[in-house]
Amino acid sequence: MKLSRADAEIWVPDGATAETALARTTHMGISAHPDDTEIMAMDGILAGFGNQERWFTAVIVTNGAGSPRDGIYASFTDEQMQIVRRREQKKAAVVGEYSAAVFLNHSSADVKDARNAGPLEDLKTILAVARPEIVYTHNLADKHDTHVAVALRAIAAIRSLPREARPRRLYGCEVWRDLDWLVDQDKVVFRLDAHDNISMALVSLFDSQVAGGKRYDLATMGRRRAHATYLESHAVDVAQSVSFAMDLTPLIEDDALDPHDYVQGFIRRFAEDVSARVKKLI
């Protein structure tokens, strides 16, 4: 198993070999940056937490350079921030009982450049060895270019696999733009009530981001709580913590589907829903 960058790393919290850690993986998060996984893929993390039959692996595609910083991190260089953020991700892997944390360590510019084969080839390698059942990545309506690029590379990597080696499900999850706007029939709803202390701890571990000027811990838990209440207007809450995803599985079942056209379908159904409701009540 060879990755394209010499500074890539497959880190295994319980000391198993990288091959063992990937082979036992059932749920995988493919995210752009350290801490994205803990924001968007808690459903998969909870599936593996305390469960010897289910294992979650986090794949971090970029090196995390260029993030906002303040406080004790204000004077840190990009190189120093990369070290800090990788260390924080490893802490999260321990607390969340991950099978592995994979650091591909590409720059954001390389990930956004579709002509750069490195990120795609690395994802192909990891997916071919791990063969996870469920993959969580960024949603195609995210407003962060690197996030959307990672989702597109993940789709392309999965499409390169034989049909029998592909995940059963691919979900596009919330980070930079939530998915409350999806019409209800398009929402994938993850109920995240279990171990909410672990959920909070995982996001809070990324001190360079939280203390560095962005309260991702409060924002993430608040968004999940808000989703739980505003999910249904005519019924009591059925969960205390909820996140949403768009189902990207059709894109890995039908290689002819265009990702651009596919996400436009979600937007069109939202526009039609708003239009129909207003017209009905005028």
Q: How far apart are alpha carbons 10 and 19 in whole angstroms? A: 9
pLDDT-based confidence at residue 67 (cuts at 50, 70, 90):
confident
pLDDT at 44 over 90: yes
Mean per-residue pLDDT over the chain, rounded? 95
Q: Which of 69, 78, 76, 64 is nearest to 33 (CA)?
A: 64
Lowest mean pLDDT, pick from 3-7, 65-69, 177-181, 236-240: 65-69
User: Any bridge partners for residue 134, and if so which?
Assistant: 27, 169
pLDDT-based confidence at residue 70 (cuts at 50, 70, 90):
confident
The fold adopted by the segment(s) 9-281 is Rossmann fold (3.40.50)
pLDDT-based confidence at residue 61 (cuts at 50, 70, 90):
very high
Q: Please give the residue that has the higher pLDDT: either 211 or 228.
A: 228
In terms of residues, how long is the chain? 282
pLDDT at 213 over 80: no
Contact present, 150 and 112 (Cβ < 8 Å): no
Q: How far apart are alpha carbons 273 and 158 in whole angstroms? A: 32
pLDDT at 212 over 80: no
Cite the DSSP H helix spans in the chain.
18-23, 36-40, 42-48, 78-95, 108-112, 117-130, 145-159, 196-204, 207-210, 216-230, 249-253, 259-281
174 burial (CB, 10 Å; 0-12 / 13-18 / 19+) is buried
pLDDT for the residue 257: 98
pLDDT for the residue 161: 98
pLDDT-based confidence at residue 140 (cuts at 50, 70, 90):
very high
Query: How are the residues of the chain apportioned to helix, strand and coil, as percentages rounded to the nearest 5?
Result: 50, 15, 35
pLDDT tens, residue by residue, 79-97? 898 999 999 999 999 999 9
Q: How far apart are alpha carbons 167 and 186 in whole angstroms? A: 20
Sign of CA dihedral 221, 262, 132, 16: negative
pLDDT for the residue 233: 83
164 burial (CB, 10 Å; 0-12 / 13-18 / 19+) is exposed
pLDDT for the residue 112: 97
Every domain of the chain and the residues it spans: 9-281
Q: How far apart are alpha carbons 113 and 118 in whole angstroms? A: 10
pLDDT for the residue 110: 96
Query: β-pairing, 100-106 with 56-62?
Result: parallel
pLDDT for the residue 232: 87
Contact present, 201 and 94 (Cβ < 8 Å): no
Q: How far apart are alpha carbons 153 and 147 in whole angstroms? A: 10
pLDDT for the residue 205: 95
pLDDT-based confidence at residue 236 (cuts at 50, 70, 90):
confident
pLDDT tens, residue by residue, 174-204? 999 999 999 999 999 999 999 999 999 999 9
Query: β-pairing, 56-62 with 27-31?
Result: parallel
Q: Calculate mean pLDDT across residues 216-244.
A: 92
CA 135 from chain centre, in angstroms, equals 8
pLDDT at 13 over 90: yes
pLDDT at 211 over 90: no
Q: How far apart are alpha carbons 26 and 202 in whole angstroms? A: 20
Q: Calculate mean pLDDT across residues 48-69.
A: 92
pLDDT at 68 over 80: no
Q: How far apart are alpha carbons 96 and 83 in whole angstroms? A: 20
Q: How far apart are alpha carbons 30 and 159 in whole angstroms? A: 15
Q: How far apart are alpha carbons 182 and 73 in whole angstroms? A: 37
pLDDT-based confidence at residue 10 (cuts at 50, 70, 90):
very high
